[in-house]
Structure 1
Amino acid sequence: MLLVLATSSLVLVAFLVPLAVLVGDVAHDRAISSASLEARTLSVVATGDEAALRSAVQRINTGEQFPVTVFRPDGAELGAAAERSPAVQLARSTSRTLSAELPDGGIEVLTSVGASEGTTVIRVYVSQEQLTAGVYRAWIILALLGLALLALSMLVAERLGRSLVGSIGELAVTSRRLAGGDLTAQARPNGPAEIEAVAATLNTLAARITELLVAERERVADLSHRVRTPLTALKLDAESVRDPQDRERLETSIAALERAVTQTINEAREPAGEGGACDATRVVRERVEFWSVLAEDQERPFSALLPDGPLLVRISEAELAPAVDALLGNVFAHTPEGTAFSVRLTADAGGGAVLQVRDEGPGLPRSAAQRGRSGAGSSGLGLDIARRAAESSGGSWATDSPGGARITLRLGPPDGAAAG
């Protein structure tokens, strides 16, 4: 719209200013021509009888718009009183029609008429108001016309701009929905051809992302389903164990593993959604109790500092439990037996919770913070599970090695919960 405003203004100025000047020139020339015609008409009478000349001058000064003065050769003046200017003397000596500007802004048109007794000069006075008669009204009309054309151009520009910007705004809204995980968002192909092409490409991209996610979920579900075969073999092996305590322990672990595999298959085949909410205190306490049995077998000193009451966080139990298992599993997998560790869960000042797992082992390698990498020969996805759990809750995570390994997860508060 600013571009159209600037362009239209330049065009209108280039058109209206010369036109306004032309209107002024036409009005000026029209007044001078009328005065010259009046002077020439009177010059015909000036060659005749003196009484006829006086009558004609009186009639003109009474009814015409331009005052007339006649300077006779003997020095007499007929008609309106006027000063004998240098232009009058020039007209008498040159015997021709001429015009001269006056100090008050008017113009006097002079015509000389020669006779046997001398030269008579006829003076017709044109005032400044008569020179600009109708000019200001014409300028006002031109200005109003220019403003109307400018307003019309801005209206057209606004309509065109709205159609263009509206289409781009719809693309931006669709892009934000896709970025937020809503893969059902579709852009409407409207507007110029280029924007329609972008909208169609964006819709194709959303469809392709959906296809890739479906294929990835099916691949994960298929991989998890293949684990059922060795799980069945483990069940059979566990049933053959004679020691009741060992058999019960193995069957409990196998059942937990089977539940995890089933949950993975179900989650992989479902579209990603909101994580929900859970009581972090209960989940962490259950996982600590589960790993405490193995800690006692390996003679690992450990401590758990947990709140007495519930601590709600914006993550489901199905996501938080694997994250806690991943952190505690890393302690048992990457530190020697007998290495102490601690688990601490506290309320975050801004709402949510802070989970910290610390051990007194050799510490974390530099590559431990990178997804899918580990310095101990593992897949490195354990820390990534914890990281994704913290970020999906709206929180963050951090790792450091102050004489061991310390991993901190900040879990966000549930939607609608007030900050503490």
Structure 2
Amino acid sequence: MRRRLITSTLAVVLVVIAVFGLSLVIVETRTITNSAQERVDSEAVRLVSIVDSRLIAEEQITSEILRDQVEEGRYAVVRLRHRAPIEIGDKPRGDVIKATERGEAGESVTVEEPRSEVTREVGRTLMIIGLVALLAIIAAALLAIRQGNRLAAPLTDLAETAERLGSGDPRPRHKRYGVPELDRIAEVLDGSAERIARMLTAERRLAADASHQLRTPLTALSMRLEEITLTGDIDTVQEEANIAINQVERLTAVVERLLTNSRDPRNGSAVPFELDEVVKQQVEEWLPAYRGAGRAIVRSGPRHLRAVGTPGAVAQVLAALIENSLMHGGGTVALRTRAVGNQAVVEVTDEGPGVPPDLGARIFERTISGRNSTGIGLAVARDLAEADGGRLELLQGKPPVFALFLSRTRPRKPSTGEDGGETPTVR
């Protein structure tokens, strides 16, 4: 990426320099040539006026008298009637710039200047333009290298962070780069690292608990089975088999308890998050579909309202409600956020016919639908809400108002006693 960025930047600069530099060279060359021609024309006009004035005054006209009137490096020829031409200066060789003017008395004055002077001046101008272009290319290269390093190095760093996450190292780096888009990616990776760390911690805790809790039942079960293999007494075999069955039941209960604890939402991915960010994302995602249907979707409510839950699950709940309003509702769909005590609430309403009274109490049951649809969307949405410790309710049937309730603070975990049971909170 760094090489492509540098190459593309230099290519743009070179194109700009080629276009504008070539135009500038052409303009400057024409300007210098025209300026030199104008100087020679002006010199010829001035000399012919001097000759006219001396002829009128019947004064003598010689090369010695006119030599001081011609600039050094130029050649002039004055032609008078019935007289030999008067030459002033040395005649230049090669290509020249020439101007001829005629006076009132019939005389003519021709002034010549070597074109080599113009060529040298054009060369100096081209050198200055080339130097400026070179400085521009160097500056562009330095800037491209700096920008390339500024963008490529963070991307390489983020790739290494993602690779670390994939290899099982979930430590967040909390490193920022001063580029909003890259900083956003870094924040997401840090958040993912923290969630992965929590999940890995829960898995390690589950593995440790399982190894500790299952060791005793497995040992006891192994001993009973050994007793069965070593005895031939039917009564002893039955007794040991019954004890082994009890050990298996105990082992099953331990496994179920461990799995239940591992599925506790408080140990899962529920985290505090900005609720209005999820609402905004959903509004932006569904806006094209509503525009295509000739309808509008808007949001309102306080900003920076925080809730506890899984942002992805909350987004799926809101998407189900918005899709339900698109399919079965009408008019403008409004998403309103508000805070009620220790709960954050998102209400989704539209201007449609609403929920029929006979479906109001069963709207969240599976296969229940007012139209030709699967009827599982609202049921799944309610399950997702309850998995995060929230709830989804129908507050009003007409116009329909669905409300998602989420806690604004993390639920406090109950303390455990030495026997592993929960210790009730003293109020």
Q: Name which one, 1 or 2, has greater alpha-carbon Rg.
A: 1
Q: So what's the TM-score if we normalise by structure 1? A: 0.47
